[in-house]
């Protein structure tokens, strides 16, 4: 049985990924400091995994955990753009220095490194559809930290045949996404507000557009890269967009038609428009998103209602 390490495995994407890896009979260890992850995300399969409460910046711990693993899915990070702007030093300490510890251990033990990057690396690029070839100009410390690790992986691959895959996730949503944080993502925030009969809050005019992708489609792409030895940097999105206004109205219509939208000032670091081209990854893997926004929202609403 192949051993897998998932950093940030108690978080949103991480816990969904762990669930899917277990279904494929992998032996899974999780490293998480529980700053933004929760044991409740692992409750359904806690007896099938090893959970280590620790930090990716702990060199000795990382070395010990990566040894004898065939792959590290590296999702541990400071994930909030606004928080990265408020505390850029902490962002780089976690997202760059911590990630370098993982990379060095993967080099040492010949483990594949699969990295959760972000569409934030594109910044405010005006190209309508983002391809991996356009210039990357991140406008937040979060985006810059993700791009830094991508560049390091590319360099190591060129010089030392480093085995890696970096995925630029667009707007991921689905069950287990954190709503407790003040930086909570828009879909879980909208859904939980609507369930609790609270008006939906939009920062800016609501005409910003996003490429929303269901979390299980992301997990499929990650596992596919591991099982098929795929290397490189790839976008993961649905190649379709929805405005935040349209999204809010969609959720209101499904849960509580009496709710209103409360507009707040635009937040620093927020990008106006974001749409992915996932053609590069499709061409090498035949991966395609399976869950439409309509069905994904339905599944997510069902989860939060529980």
**What is the set of active-site residues?**
142
- The DSSP result for 241-297, as a single string, is -EEHHHHHHHHHHHH-TT--EEEEPPPTT--SB--B--HHHHHHH-----S-HHHHH
Contact 99, 156 (CB under 8 A): no
Query: Where are the extended beta strands (E) located within the chain?
Result: 3-7, 27-32, 50-53, 71-74, 112-118, 164-169, 171-173, 200-203, 209-210, 212-214, 232-236, 242-243, 261-264
Q: CA-CA distance, 98 to 118, in Å (whole number)? A: 17
Angle between helices 186-195 and 244-255 in degrees, nearest 10: 30
Q: CA-CA distance, 72 to 56, in Å (whole number)? A: 12
Instruction: Give the closest residue to 289 by CA, choosing from 203, 220, 193.
Output: 220
C-alpha distances out from residue 177 to 181, 191, 249, Å? 10, 11, 20
Q: CA-CA distance, 280 to 283, in Å (whole number)? A: 5
């Amino acid at each position: 049985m192949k051993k897998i390490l998932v950093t940030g495995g108690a978080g949103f994407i991480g816990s969904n990924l762990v669930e899917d890896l277990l279904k494929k009979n992998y032996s899974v260890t999780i490293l998480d400091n529980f700053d933004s992850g929760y044991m409740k995300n692992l409750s359904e399969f806690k007896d099938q995994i090893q959970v280590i409460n620790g930090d990716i910046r702990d060199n000795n711990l990382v070395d010990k955990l990566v040894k004898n693993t065939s792959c590290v899915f590296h999702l541990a990070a400071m994930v909030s753009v606004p928080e990265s702007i408020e505390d850029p030093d902490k962002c780089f300490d976690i997202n760059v220095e911590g990630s370098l510890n993982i990379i060095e251990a993967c080099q040492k033990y010949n483990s594949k490194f699969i990295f959760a990057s972000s569409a934030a690396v594109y910044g405010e690029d005006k190209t309508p559809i983002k391809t991996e070839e356009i210039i990357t100009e991140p406008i937040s410390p979060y985006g810059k930290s993700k791009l830094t690790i991508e560049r390091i992986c590319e360099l190591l691959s060129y010089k030392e045949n480093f085995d890696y895959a970096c995925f630029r996730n667009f707007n991921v949503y689905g069950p287990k996404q954190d709503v407790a944080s003040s930086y909570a993502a828009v879909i879980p925030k909208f859904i939980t507000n609507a369930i609790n009969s609270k008006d939906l809050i939009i920062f800016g005019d609501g005409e910003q557009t996003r490429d929303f992708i269901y979390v299980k489609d992301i997990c499929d792409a990650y596992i596919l890269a591991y099982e098929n030895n795929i290397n490189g940097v790839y976008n993961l999105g649905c190649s379709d967009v929805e405005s935040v206004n349209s999204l809010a109205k969609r959720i209101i219509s499904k849960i509580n038609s009496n709710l209103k939208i409360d507009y707040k000032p635009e937040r620093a670091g927020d990008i106006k428009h974001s749409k992915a081209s996932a053609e590069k990854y499709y061409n090498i893997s035949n991966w395609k998103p399976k869950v439409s926004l309509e069905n994904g929202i339905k599944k997510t609403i069902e989860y939060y209602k529980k």
